[in-house]
Structure 1
Amino acid sequence: MSEFRQATAHVDALEARLAQLQQCIADDNANDYLEENFSFILDLLHRYDNIKLAMEEDAPLRLQVESKLKQLAQQQVIRQQEEIAREKEARDAQRAAELANEQEKERLLHEAREREAEREREEQERIQALAIAAQKKREQREKERAEEERQRQLEEQERERLNASIPHGKEGLEKAIAMLREGTSNESLQKLLAVVSNICKSPENAAFRHIPKDNVHFHADLGQYPGGHQCLLAMGFKELQQGDETQPRTVFVLEEPDLSEDLDAWSTWFDELKELQSLVESKLG
């Protein structure tokens, strides 16, 4: 390629020398100058012909030029292919990143849904467990109420049986005192006498006519002994259930007839008490 440029430069120089020759043709003293210039021109023409011949006959210079051009073209193709490959790689990487991002979002969303579903399952299980526990508790309370009702009925039947087991009046009191004497001394009879004496002294005082069955003093004096309860029943006391269901209490109650409504009934009731008092006193005599 450098030889071709040199040849081109020589052609330009040749044209310049020809122009000088045209100016010197009319000068008679220009022979030396013309001879020198024609020699130079002939040399350049010879070189030009050699270069042209070499180009036409596939000389190394042309082959080098063509090889260089081909190499440059191949390099250009390679660069274009590399650029295309880089762009494709970048697009593929971007698509891969976008796909990975979408997959990550989907994974996180799936995990969030799974957690929510698990939370809902746990909540349902908790609610179900609470419902089962509540149902069991209701069933247990119902069972307890049924048992309490059964027990209450049994106790009521026992009270009715007990109330009917001892005749009211002297006959019943005689039997009850006999039972009481088998298990204790006269001290219990003295306590029984105190009970009936207090009522006779103050029949209007309800405290003397209401004796809780679980009263500590009553239990120690009479209630713990066979015949103790029967003595009260023979005197006209009734075993009753008082209070509400949460705090029931069994009480021996002696009802007083209404003096203002029926004086005769009240007088009969009071006279019977006096007779029973006398009977207890006679047992201590």
Structure 2
Amino acid sequence: MELKRLTTTVDDAEVRLRDLVASRTTADAAEEARVAQRAALHALLRLLDDDIGIKMDKFMERLAWADPVTNEPRYGPVMQDKIRAVHARVEALRGQLVEIRDDVETDGVAMAERLEQRRLDEQRRADEAAREALDAAAKAAALAHEAEQERIQAEAAAKAREVERLAIAAQKVRDERARKAAEEEARIEAERAALAALQKRVVVGLDGLTPALATLHAHIRELPNASAQWRQTLSTLHVFLQHICSAPDNAVFRQIKESNPFFMADVGQFPGGRDALLAMGFALVQQDGVGVYLMEEPDLAADMDKWSDWFDALKSMRDFVETLLAQPLPSSVSNHGLIGFTRLTQSRGSKDKCELGCQG
């Protein structure tokens, strides 16, 4: 197996040597070919010295080995002939390489030097062209720099004017924002004070609900759909009271968002709507920036009498609203309708007067 591999390597070396010799006759005018031939020669010499020669020497050494018992040669006659045949080819290969080595080396070195000189000449010309280009670029850059400086100065002046203009405009915006913020703060504070005064002024219970409903009635009766709107407003208030009376411990029924669209459409948009909720016992508070009407339930375990008064007042207001729902809105917009409504509320109020214990 080793001899077979060695034979294959020798075959390859012989082919490469033939190619090298052939290239010497067909590419005499090619300078690069001479350099490539020299490289191919060196590769074959390395292969011969570092691989083929070492392995061949081992086989030749083994030809002299004999069996210590029979004193017979290690290899048989056929194997010996094969080894000697390969050895002859190797020696022939070595002789051919030695024969052409000087010519290939001389031509290769000369061509390599010529190519290197050519490369150096081309590099020198390229360097000169690069220097000329750099000089031209430097002159152009100087002119461009001068023009750029003029442009920068003009741009800086324009920017300075723009910065000044923007600063003035920004100051105006800040002043306007500060003015609006102050106005908004004043408005919020005024609303807060007005709400506090309203919550303090409104009586919680039927005595407070009566004038609130009268205010609602006075505004709603001026609407084109006065009768339907009045009934819808009373129905919404009745739903609030009915839910609380049916489940007084359910906190969900005791809170209403001020921005609730249904509440706003039926009650909140009209004068007297807020008063009505405050009179029912709700307090307007802010939760995460949102206005919410909240009604607190008295502690039944702590004060049963207070809780009973609170619940009785709720039922009284619920029943009163039911009574109003059963009566049609007067068709006339004269004071007669409002007087009749006021008389009704006064008669019920004197009987059911009560204040809730959860006024906020």
TM-score by length of 2: 0.42
- Identify the match of residue 196 of structure 2 among 153, 160, 166: 160
Output the CA distance in 2 between the equivalents of 1:205 and 1:126.
63
Q: What residue ranges of structure 1 are gaps of 5+ in the alignment?
A: 1-104
Q: Shift of the alpha carbon at 1:253?
A: 2.4
Q: Shift of the alpha carbon at 1:155?
A: 1.6
Query: Which residue identity does 1:280 align to in structure 2?
Result: V
Answering whether residue 256 of structure 2 is matched by residue 215 of structure 1, we say: no
- 3-state secondary structure, aligned to 1:251: strand
**Cα offsets for 1:139-190 (capped at 9, x unmatched):** 2322221121111112222322332443221211222233334435462323
- Identify the match of residue 281 of structure 1 among 319, 322, 340: 322
Relative contact order, CA 8 A, sep 6+: which one is greater?
2
Answering whether residue 175 of structure 2 is matched by residue 139 of structure 1, we say: yes
Which residue does the alignment assign to 2:206? 170
**Cα offsets for 1:246-282 (capped at 9, x unmatched):** xxx3333223335566555444433332232233334
**Cα offsets for 1:179-220 (capped at 9, x unmatched):** 334435462323322110111122233332222333222233
Which residue does the alignment assign to 2:280? 235
- 3-state secondary structure, aligned to 2:316: helix
Output the CA distance in 2 between the equivalents of 1:151 and 1:280.
34
Answering whether residue 297 of structure 2 is matched by residue 253 of structure 1, we say: no
Cα 1:138–1:204 change in 2 (3 A) is farther
Cα 1:152–1:226 change in 2 (3 A) is closer
Bigger mean CA offset, 211-220 vs 194-203: 211-220
Q: How many residues align?
A: 178
Cα 1:133–1:239 change in 2 (3 A) is same
Which structure 2 residues correspond to residues 90-101 of structure 1 after superposition, within 5 A? none
Query: Which residue identity does 2:197 align to in structure 1?
Result: R
Which residue does the alignment assign to 1:117? 153
- 3-state secondary structure, aligned to 2:259: coil
Output the CA distance in 1 between the equivalents of 2:188 and 2:282.
20
Output the CA distance in 2 between the equivalents of 1:269 and 1:138.
51
Query: Which residue identity does 1:257 align to in structure 2?
Result: P
Output the CA distance in 1 between the equivalents of 2:278 and 2:243.
17
Larger of the two Rg values belongs to structure: 1
Which residue does the alignment assign to 2:310? 269
Which structure 2 residues correspond to residues 183-198 of structure 1 after superposition, within 5 A? 183=221, 184-185=226-227, 187=231, 188-198=233-243
Output the CA distance in 2 between the equivalents of 1:108 and 1:145.
52
Output the CA distance in 2 between the equivalents of 1:192 and 1:108.
82
Q: Shift of the alpha carbon at 1:130?
A: 3.7
Output the CA distance in 1 between the equivalents of 2:144 and 2:234.
90
TM-score by length of 1: 0.51
Q: Shift of the alpha carbon at 1:127?
A: 3.3
- 3-state secondary structure, aligned to 2:281: coil
Which structure 2 residues correspond to residues 56-135 of structure 1 after superposition, within 5 A? 111-135=147-171
- 3-state secondary structure, aligned to 1:146: helix
Q: Shift of the alpha carbon at 1:108?
A: 7.5
CA RMSD of aligned residues (A): 3.3
Query: Which residue identity does 1:116 align to in structure 2?
Result: I
Query: Which residue identity does 2:283 align to in structure 1?
Result: K
Output the CA distance in 2 between the equivalents of 1:112 and 1:222.
71
Output the CA distance in 2 between the equivalents of 1:195 and 1:113.
77
Query: Which residue identity does 1:232 align to in structure 2?
Result: L
Cα 1:209–1:111 change in 2 (3 A) is same
Which residue does the alignment assign to 2:215? 179
Answering whether residue 240 of structure 2 is matched by residue 199 of structure 1, we say: no
Query: Which residue identity does 1:208 align to in structure 2?
Result: F
Q: Shift of the alpha carbon at 1:110?
A: 6.0
**Cα offsets for 1:70-127 (capped at 9, x unmatched):** xxxxxxxxxxxxxxxxxxxxxxxxxxxxxxxxxxx99987655433322322333343
- Identity, in percent, stands at 39
